[in-house]
Amino acid sequence: MAEKKTEAGPPPVAQRSTVEVKLDKVPIVFLKKSPPYNAGEVAGFPAETAENLVKQKIARVLTPAEVKAGGPETK
């Protein structure tokens, strides 16, 4: 039986979507340790949970600029 030789081309190139997506989670940064999170860590939570963490001064909501930049601004 003859082997069929196939030439594999380059793998397809991944393209990043430019579509805006509405997130169902609110990005926050922890201001102090709250297990399992440490101060400075970023996480996403449902709006009600994020609001409670902010009210308790455990975390703050990331600004749109910080989200776009990929993390919190450091001072």
Provide, for the chain, the percentages of residues in helix, strand and coil under a 3-state DSSP scheme, each rounded to the nearest 5: 20, 20, 60
User: Domain containing 51 — which CATH number?
Assistant: 3.40.5.10
pLDDT single digits (tens) 9-18: 777 777 766 6
Please report the pLDDT score of residue 2 as a whole number: 60
Element (H, E) at 27: strand 26-30
pLDDT confidence tier of residue 58, bands split at 50, 70 and 90: very high
Does residue 60 belong to any structural domain of this protein?
yes
Does residue 9 belong to any structural domain of this protein?
no
Does residue 75 belong to any structural domain of this protein?
no
pLDDT single digits (tens) 23-52: 689 999 999 999 999 999 999 999 999 999
Does residue 20 belong to any structural domain of this protein?
no
Does residue 51 belong to any structural domain of this protein?
yes
Q: How far is CA 58 from the centre of its chain?
A: 19
61: domain range? 26-69
* pTM of the predicted structure, to 2 decimals: 0.65
Q: Smallest Cα–Cα separation from 49: which of 65, 34, 39, 38?
A: 34
> What is the total count of domains within the chain?
1
Does residue 42 belong to any structural domain of this protein?
yes
